[in-house]
Amino acid sequence: MSSTEALSARAIEVLTDLVAFDTTSRGSNLELIGYVEGLLSAYGIESRRVPNREGTKANLMATIGPMVEGGVVLSGHTDVVPVDGQAWTSDPWVVTRRDGRLYGRGVADMKSFLALSLAALPRFAEAPLKRPIHLAFSYDEEVGCLGAPFLIEQIAATLPKPAAVLVGEPTDMQAIAGHKGITSYKVTVTGKEAHSSLTHLGASANMAAIRLLSNLLKLSEDLAAGADPASPFTPRGASLTVGQMGGGTAVNILARECVFIFDLRTEPGMDARALLNGFFAEVRKVDAELKARFPECGVEVERRSLTPAFAPEDGGVAEAMARRLAGDNGPVRVAPYAAEAGQFQEAGFSTVICGPGSIDQAHQPDEFIEISQIERGAAFMERLVEMMSED
């Protein structure tokens, strides 16, 4: 067995352990974090938790090699999306091998990258590293990249400045140099109940919400029509959709409440808030009209997530590094989905996304990764050790 094959085999063992922890974002990731701490301490590597406020979840950071500048951060999220209501052929929490593939929740997005980083620990620990390899594992990526900001703050405050951040989201081991940002809002319209025949005695939250939703529909059409034809993104430009909505209790009652959540995706350089100026003007108008009739009625808007876009860097150190490690000579690529890369970049770190598996399988029932992707990931880790050991 070659050393790369041995590293792949070990990564699959670690992946099997990682997948067995149900780290759906709504629950805790602490059991998985405890397991990772165990692996690190077995090689004498110290690690540090960066917990959430409630203490129910934690990011984890660790450094292998000398505490000097110029290191690389291997960044990955520990949480996965739910399996509820999905038709799985095999148990999603048990890694199952079929036809050259591994099946299980999170095998593509993105526990294989974590597994490869952990499987490589003995190589990292034995190598004469000149520059450090930092591990940065986060929580709550899948629900709006909520955990990473605390982790990034600690990296910036406590580590000698790393040269590059490699975010191991599934990209088929190709360097991705940009992604869109996400802005999402929850809108709650409060009306006043009355019999549906007596519209003068109440205010329907649903009817008021339709005005706001119409505004968003128009905005989504305008954004699509006005997209820059030269945009590298697919779809081009900004996009907007209402992912969830619900209101009212019966056909013959004026709805007391209507709630909807919308999601705006923007390219680097776009100002999401400015794009929504017209919508917020309509919110203020509808709110004032409702309150004029019934003071307890109105519209409330709550921001749910604000994940910055990730812009291709001119002569980006991280992208060049990932290309060299992955043997990637292709064109500059960008992704429509968002990840933690924009947050790292915003904090001043040169960043790239590059990891095993395909985004096409992420979040799907029967999520899988080709074993060949794990093998490429293993070769990537071996080249990383060499690169960080060079003078």
| Residue among 319, 316, 326 nearest 116 (CA) | 326
Whether omega before 110 lies within 30 degrees of 0, making that bond cis, reads yes
Comparison of 169 and 287: residue with beta carbon closer to Zn ion: 169
Residue 62 makes CB contacts below 8 A (sequence gap 6+) with 40, 45, 46, 47, 48, 134, 135
**DSSP label at residue 151:** H
CA angle at 159 for the pair 309 and 166, rounded to the nearest 5° = 40
Q: How far apart are CA 350 and CA 310, in angstroms?
A: 10
Which residues are at the interface with Zn ion (CB under 5 A)? Answer: 109-110, 169
Comparison of 110 and 119: residue with beta carbon closer to Zn ion: 110
Q: 22, 37, 79, 287: which one is catalytic?
A: 79
Instruction: Please indicate whether residue 141 is annotated as part of the active site.
Output: yes
Comparison of 108 and 297: residue with beta carbon closer to Zn ion: 108
Comparison of 80 and 290: residue with beta carbon closer to Zn ion: 80
Q: Which residue is nearest to Zn ion (CB)?
A: 109
Instruction: Please indicate whether residue 31 is annotated as part of the active site.
Output: no
CB-based burial, 189-228: b 16+ in 10 Å, e otherwise: bbbbbbeeeeeeebbbbbbbbeebbebbeebbeebeeebe
**Structural tokens at position 336:** 């429509």
Q: How far is the CB of 192 from Zn ion (least distance, A)?
A: 43
Q: How far is the CB of 281 from Zn ion (least distance, A)?
A: 35
| Residue among 214, 274, 263, 269 nearest 240 (CA) | 263
Q: How far is the CB of 109 from Zn ion (least distance, A)?
A: 4
CA 116 to mean position of chain CA atoms: 19
Q: How far apart are CA 185 and CA 242, in angstroms?
A: 10
Q: How many CB atoms lie within 10 A of CB 378?
A: 26
If 0-12 CB within 10 Å is exposed, 13-18 middle and 19+ buried, where does residue 49 land?
Answer: middle
Q: How far is the CB of 139 from Zn ion (least distance, A)?
A: 12
Comparison of 65 and 76: residue with beta carbon closer to Zn ion: 76
Q: How far is the CB of 47 from Zn ion (least distance, A)?
A: 21
Backbone angles phi, psi at 44, to 5 degrees: 70, 25
**Structural tokens at position 331:** 């064109």
Comparison of 170 and 247: residue with beta carbon closer to Zn ion: 170
Q: How far apart are CA 318 and CA 165, in angstroms?
A: 6
Cβ-contact 54, 135 below 8 angstroms: no
**Structural tokens at position 375:** 């093998």
Q: How far apart are CA 146 and CA 237, in angstroms?
A: 25
Comparison of 209 and 359: residue with beta carbon closer to Zn ion: 359
**Structural tokens at position 192:** 């006043």
| Residue among 6, 8, 168 nearest 72 (CA) | 168
Q: 22, 141, 142, 267: which one is catalytic?
A: 141
Which residues are marked as active site? 79, 141
